[in-house]
Amino acid sequence: MRLRKKAMPINQKQLRKTETNRRRGWIIYILSVARPKPLDFATLVQLLDARDFPMSCRRFAEELDYLRSLGLLRVFPLGANDALSNVEQAKLIQRYCDSEGDMDDDLCAALTTKGVNFQEGDFEEVGIQRVN
């Protein structure tokens, strides 16, 4: 006779954390598929929505800022010729958030070398679930 293990109750906090980690993983994955081209924010949001990860402008900005702070991606205005500092990128994401997404066609995101290495499985990062 086999003993059944008791089913663990679903913890809402853990469920949200798992969803957040997957959402971040999808952002990295989508940008890795698009490379070497960057993606504008509007396209990135649409692709995430198509994969059942709809996000508010604020939530999208939070996830981008988290990934940017880890050095996995960079953000910049469309047509930019010079790299932006971390502070300038953070301010750009904040302006996007404050604009309620009105700037989503004018801003782009692209993976950094570290982001590519993460997606290729060279290392793990807390808070992100790799998607393949």
Determine, yes or no, domain membership for 132: no
Distance of alpha carbon 108 from alpha carbon 9, whole angstroms:
40
Determine, yes or no, domain membership for 126: no
Are 132 and 93 contacting, i.e. CB atoms less than 8 angstroms apart? no
Closest CA to 109 of 40, 50, 25: 40
Q: Which domain holds residue 40?
A: 13-119
- Based on the structure, what is the number of domains in the chain? 1
Bond before 36 cis per omega within 30 degrees: yes
pLDDT at residue 128, as a whole number: 97
Checking if the pLDDT of 41 tops 60, the result is yes
pLDDT at residue 22, as a whole number: 96
pLDDT at residue 127, as a whole number: 96
Determine, yes or no, domain membership for 125: no
Determine, yes or no, domain membership for 130: no
Taking the mean position of all CA atoms in its chain, how far away is CA 41? 11
The model carries a pTM of 0.89
Determine, yes or no, domain membership for 108: yes
Specify the CATH number for the domain of residue 90: 1.10.10
Confidence of residue 8 (pLDDT cuts 50, 70, 90): low
Long-range contacts of 90-96 (CB under 8 A, 24+ apart): 90/65, 93/61, 93/64, 93/65, 93/68, 94/61, 96/41, 96/57, 96/61
pLDDT at residue 68, as a whole number: 97
Summarised one tens digit per residue, pLDDT across range 47-100 is 999 999 999 999 999 999 999 999 999 999 998 989 999 999 999 999 999 988
Determine, yes or no, domain membership for 5: no
Confidence of residue 3 (pLDDT cuts 50, 70, 90): low
Determine, yes or no, domain membership for 127: no
